[in-house]
């Protein structure tokens, strides 16, 4: 059984504004499928336009929050997971709090007085998704909030940490505080490459966090971007996963394990200088609703077993199970109870 507060996530809580769009809309706003970007000025009108033009759904999102909610759902132990991030004092923020509490996650949000809760446009075309995040309040997180005794207590209590790479754009100092705590106390610290733009434009802060990472998650596109940025001159996923796992570590207590998903192709796991591949459960095309949250769900499922000290095989199997459930539904949502044995 997972104990209370065993897993802590820290990231950008966003409200997903999700709609089935079309290629003209993607072209108009210069966005591509299977990518995640931060909104620029040219993207600002798209949120309104989506709401007017399409049948939109509002779903609590943000990569880390998705993974934590999925892990919580898989564990079925109230309060086994905690989450920290920044929201606005508005109706979207209230919605987010309600959602998280219902999911059983112990949330400690920093609530910004004047900035609205962050949103993420999720444009779905042919089951594939493109994400455009307008961070707003999520961008206002400060390490001062983390240092408050009632919030730092969540760090002290947790044995496992998960932070998506997206948080590197907001509060690298908060990430360092948690990473150093994990290393000093032999706890498990995990992160995600999250998006090509993180690997490209936030390379410095990513490299500062990397020595502390005991698990690195990512998908094939992010892994290849990471390889290109570091001049490794290889597109081979197994080779890249190995190289990431062999990156120097801050603490020798745990070896680093790299876990790279490749959509319908096998999951690549690199540890101890070896790569193992795990086939995924294939889903008939007609059952696919959208891929939004699939990667987050994989991590959530994986972590739900990791915190119970299960084997890597079991962790991957749970990750694949959770991703499989999520892609058959709109956004990162799930039925009341998991059916994972």
Kindly list the catalytic residues.
Answer: 296
Contact 37, 195 (CB under 8 A): yes
Lookup: tokens for 45 = 């009108």
CB 8 within 8 A of CB 107: no
130, two tokens: 């493109």
Q: How far is CA 269 from CA 212, 266, 278, 330, in A?
A: 18, 10, 8, 28
Give the three-state DSSP class for 301: helix
Token pair of 37 as six digits: 């970007």
Can you spell out the DSSP letters for 47-66? HHHHHHHS--EEEEE-HHHH
* Those residues with Cβ within 8 angstroms of residue 256's Cβ, 6 or more apart along the chain or in another chain: 213, 214, 215, 216, 244, 245, 246, 247, 249, 271
Closest to 291 (Cα-Cα) out of 53, 51, 130: 130
Could you count the other beta carbons within 10 Å of the beta carbon of residue 150? 8
| CA dist list (Å): 211 to 182, 296, 311 | 12, 22, 23
CB-CB contact of 178 with 208 (8 Å): no
Which residues, 6 or more positions from 106, have their beta carbon under 8 angstroms from its beta carbon? 5, 79, 81, 82, 83, 154
């Amino acid at each position: 059984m997972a104990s209370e507060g065993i897993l802590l996530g820290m990231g950008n809580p966003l409200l997903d504004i999700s709609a089935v769009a079309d290629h003209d809309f993607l072209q108009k706003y210069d966005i591509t499928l299977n990518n995640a970007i931060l909104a620029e000025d040219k993207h600002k009108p798209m949120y309104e336009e989506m709401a007017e033009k399409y049948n939109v759904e509002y779903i609590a999102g943000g990569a880390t929050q998705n993974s934590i909610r999925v892990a919580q759902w898989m564990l079925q132990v109230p309060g086994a997971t905690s989450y920290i991030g920044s929201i606005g004092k508005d109706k979207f923020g209230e919605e987010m709090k309600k959602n998280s509490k219902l999911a059983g996650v112990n949330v400690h949000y920093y609530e910004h007085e004047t900035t609205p809760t962050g949103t993420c446009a999720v444009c779905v075309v042919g089951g594939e998704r493109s994400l455009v995040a307008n961070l707003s309040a999520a961008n206002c997180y400060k390490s001062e909030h983390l240092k408050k005794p009632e919030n730092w207590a969540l760090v002290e209590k947790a044995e496992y940490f998960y932070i998506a790479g997206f948080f590197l754009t907001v509060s690298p100092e908060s990430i360092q505080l948690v990473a150093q705590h994990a290393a000093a106390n032999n706890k498990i610290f995990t992160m995600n490459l999250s998006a090509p733009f993180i690997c490209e434009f936030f390379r410095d802060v990513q490299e500062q966090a990397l020595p502390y990472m005991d698990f690195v998650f990512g998908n094939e596109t992010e892994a290849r971007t990471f390889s290109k940025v570091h001049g490794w001159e290889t597109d081979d996923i197994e080779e890249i996963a190995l190289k990431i796992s062999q990156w120097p570590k801050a603490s020798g207590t745990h070896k680093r394990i790299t876990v790279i998903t490749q959509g319908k192709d096998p999951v690549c796991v690199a540890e101890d200088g070896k790569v193992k591949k795990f086939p995924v459960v294939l889903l008939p095309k007609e059952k696919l609703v959208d891929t939004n949250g699939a990667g987050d769900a994989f991590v959530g499922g994986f972590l739900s077993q990791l915190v119970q000290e299960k084997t890597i095989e079991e962790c991957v199997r749970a990750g694949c199970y959770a991703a499989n459930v999520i892609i058959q539904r709109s956004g990162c949502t799930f039925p009341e109870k998991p059916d994972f044995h």
